[in-house]
Structure 1
Amino acid sequence: MGHLERIFTSLPWWKAEKESREQNIPRERISCNFLGQGIRHVGNKLPFYNDKIDSKLSVLQTKLFSKWVANILPQCDAYIGISGSGLHAGRVAKSRGAAYIMDRGSSHIRYANAILQEEYLRWKILRFPINPWLIENEESEIEEANLITVPSHFVEKTFLDQGVNPLKMRVVPYGISLEEFYPVDNPPTDCFRLVFVGQFSLRKGVPYLLEAFRAFKHPNKQLIVVGSVDEKISSLIKALVDNTVHFIGIVTRAEVKKYLSTAHALVLPSIEEGLALVQAQAMACGCPIIATPNTGSETLFKHEREGLIVEAQNSKALTAAFTRLADEPNLRNRMSIACLERAKEIGGWKVYAEEIVKVCREANKVSLMELI
């Protein structure tokens, strides 16, 4: 749209080159600082590396990256800082009369930390909590930012529940790459197939999904898991799966399209995230969705029109949803048609970009008024 001045990233230069080509972004507009991320990446392969060490290094990486951006930030009208990495540059931008927008892709950091800690305790799995400094840093960003962008009303609610000024909040849902995602096949007629796409982890509500699927009575059922599996829950998974659950691993976006097109429903029982992209991708493939509100689903689609929205951390509700869609093929077909229509309404990423530009202009006016 002609507004981009610079992107600052912790990607290594060779990945930045790849993104530059794929996203049609001039390479000279991408500045990379891979130092902190690189140290953590290498450290993760060492036998003595643990969550405590990584927590300390994540603080160091955040400080170094934030100050690096601040030191080389060019003149601009608006600066968008991804949560956790934007504080110093945001202050520099504001001192020049520019706007500072904080962008958070998932729920408020305190909410996320608390609900994940509760979940790990429930399943008796060790988790090192988010470093307190990182929480305080993000809360300083919330205070400093002119406006805050989030992808769903679920995320907005977690901010409001933490006492954030509602006048600062702007909900801007993500788009869909309609050129990449569209129906390429049909679901099988000889079985009922569910697909999960994403990291198979506690954050994604995996135990509830597996409990629900095990309780789901169907003569020929399949659960296809596309994505990586969190090693911390491998023993928990083993106790809950049988030969009706198939682990595919990480695949290309083109293959994701195939799995979404050939599933009777996408199931996403997350307990915490912002707005799972795979939901819109599923709709673009005509695949109905079973999801919790904590996926941002209520911002994307309506219950019983494009899919079913069920309570988080509730295996019985998931089983009931599986049974309903399996028993009501006409409902599934109506949902599939509604999904395709809704995907067109959401539009591609250009719609998202246009909304972000509107927020930038609005934030710029707020920043100038604060200076006056």
Structure 2
Amino acid sequence: MDDLMPHIALVTTSYPTTHDGSEAAGSFVADFAQALTAYAQVTVIAPSLSAEIEQHKSLTLQRFKVPRLPLSLLKPYNPRDWLAIIKTLRAGFIALEQVAQQSQINHIFALWALPSGYWAKSIGDTYNIPYSTWALGSDIWSLGKVPVIKTLLKKVLKASHTNFADGYLLKQSVESISGRNCHFLPSTRALNISKQKQLSTNPPPYRLAFLGRWHPNKGTDLLVESLKTLSDTDWQRIEEIRICGGGPLEETIKSACATLQGHPIVLQGYLNKTEAIELFLWADYVLIPSRIESIPVVFSDAMKCQCPIVSMPVGDLPRLVTEYQVGVLAAEVSAQAFGSAISQILQQSPQTFVAGLEQAADDFSLEHSVETLLTLTSMS
């Protein structure tokens, strides 16, 4: 590694411990960290159930021990989680401080604003190291609603070198809390696509795919309910629908699909990255029925695999679908409206969306995100 390269400490609560596709956020963080190594020395500080140091090519991964994973399930308003939260906060602080003491760190990049931004600010203040934050919706729209935590969040965002957010609406929320500019930085991952898909110019039937957690926020229940609203003519235009993933709605999804026997619906579990690529290269359209969303990783995956989308009108998806012309939006967040959007897109050729897909794939590339970070944090 070139000693003249800047040394970035990337502290995060999202880093994969498995590779089965169940840790979407962790997947793109790992890809982002690896992409950074082309321009900087990178040390990742991340939680695990055991403390250990790993070397991944030109990247050092220092894991600190926490009581439980995933950390997203720890709730500050639940007294039963308080001890685990305290232990986690202390472990992350100690791990980042050890890196700061042992290495010459030029910049700390916190994924996400909390608790990673808290660690970054604490160590940055002590060792005179600038830090930047990358906010997720859970930072701002969930934790940011708790008064004491919102005060801490504001301090973290106001004192940082640069703030980023992985959505346009989220960017506005960060600016409102901090009183400072925030920059859009999309969360995206590296996809090794061996061959470019040729969008179908053929008439239907078409192939449809869903990939994600089977969770109310992701609207998987709305998806299966929407399929019940499709007409016989709609079904004649569908070759197959694959619903991939897993989660708390598993029984609901399986039960609903059982009532749709006779229709070409296939349920699958979580997919690793290679399997996800294969799914999107197979599909003509990707389905995003989320109730709550900023910009899901599945959006950028679909763009890179040249797959138009059918989406609920939530978060930044209306802006993206309209701006890039890459699919069809449901009129509202409901099963009936999503079914109507599916019916609408089945009457269009995927080739209709080719220009927008190519532009979106470029704008949501991992290389573009890395270059944005380095430029705005003055490390390019």
The answer, yes or no, to whether TM exceeds 0.5 is: yes
Note the alpha carbon deviations across 1:136-172, whole angstroms, 9 max, x for none.
6545433443432111203223435xx3235231111
Q: Is the 8 A contact 1:181 1:281 kept in 2?
A: no
1:240 aligns with 2:256: yes
Q: Is the 8 A contact 1:198 1:226 kept in 2?
A: yes
1:211 aligns with 2:228: no
The 3 A distance-change label for structure 1 pair 347 and 202 is closer
Q: Match for 1:290 among 305, 310, 321? A: 310
Give, as a single letter, the amino acid of the residue that structure 1 aligns with 2:279. Answer: Y
Partner of 2:58: 25
Q: What is the Cα deviation at residue 248 of structure 1?
A: 0.7
Separation in structure 1 between the aligned mates of residue 118 and residue 269 of structure 2, nearest angstrom: 36
Partner of 1:353: 370
Q: What is the Cα deviation at residue 353 of structure 1?
A: 0.9
Partner of 1:40: 68
Separation in structure 2 between the aligned mates of residue 108 and residue 41 of structure 1, nearest angstrom: 16
Q: Match for 1:150 among 149, 165, 171? A: 165
Give, as a single letter, the amino acid of the residue that structure 2 aligns with 1:159. Answer: V
| The structure with more helix, counted as a fraction of residues | 1
The 3 A distance-change label for structure 1 pair 219 and 272 is closer
| The structure with more strand, counted as a fraction of residues | 2
Q: Is the 8 A contact 1:79 1:98 kept in 2?
A: yes
Which secondary structure does the structure 1 equivalent of 2:228 belong to? helix
Q: Is the 8 A contact 2:287 2:310 kept in 1?
A: yes
Q: Match for 1:8 among 28, 34, 45? A: 45
Partner of 2:343: 323
The 3 A distance-change label for structure 1 pair 2 and 259 is closer
Which secondary structure does the structure 2 equivalent of 1:102 belong to? strand
The 3 A distance-change label for structure 1 pair 219 and 92 is closer
Q: Match for 2:109 among 44, 59, 80? A: 80
Q: What is the Cα deviation at residue 58 of structure 1?
A: 4.7
Separation in structure 1 between the aligned mates of residue 170 and residue 105 of structure 2, nearest angstrom: 28
Q: Match for 1:250 among 230, 247, 270? A: 270
Q: What is the Cα deviation at residue 288 of structure 1?
A: 0.5
Q: What is the Cα deviation at residue 219 of structure 1?
A: 2.9
Partner of 1:100: 131
Partner of 1:60: 86
Q: Is the 8 A contact 1:146 1:168 kept in 2?
A: no
1:334 aligns with 2:352: yes
Runs of at least 5 residues in structure 1 that lack an aligned partner in the other structure: 43-50, 115-129, 365-372
The 3 A distance-change label for structure 1 pair 101 and 237 is same
Which secondary structure does the structure 1 equivalent of 2:105 belong to? coil
More displaced 10-residue stretch of structure 1: 244-253 or 343-352:
343-352
Q: What is the Cα deviation at residue 355 of structure 1?
A: 0.6
Partner of 2:14: none
Q: Count residues with an aligned counterpart.
A: 324
Q: What is the Cα deviation at residue 186 of structure 1?
A: 7.1
Q: Is the 8 A contact 1:208 1:314 kept in 2?
A: yes
Runs of at least 5 residues in structure 2 that lack an aligned partner in the other structure: 1-37, 71-76
Separation in structure 1 between the aligned mates of residue 376 and residue 210 of structure 2, nearest angstrom: 33
Partner of 1:179: 192
The 3 A distance-change label for structure 1 pair 342 and 16 is farther
The 3 A distance-change label for structure 1 pair 208 and 157 is farther
Mapping of 1:102-181 within 5 angstroms? 102-104=133-135, 106-107=136-137, 109=139, 111-112=141-142, 137-160=152-175, 163-165=176-178, 167-177=180-190, 179-180=192-193
Give, as a single letter, the amino acid of the residue that structure 1 aligns with 2:47. Answer: S
User: Please, what is the CA RMSD of the aligned residues?
Assistant: 3.6
Give, as a single letter, the amino acid of the residue that structure 2 aligns with 1:271. Answer: R
Q: Is the 8 A contact 2:49 2:68 kept in 1?
A: no
The 3 A distance-change label for structure 1 pair 252 and 92 is closer
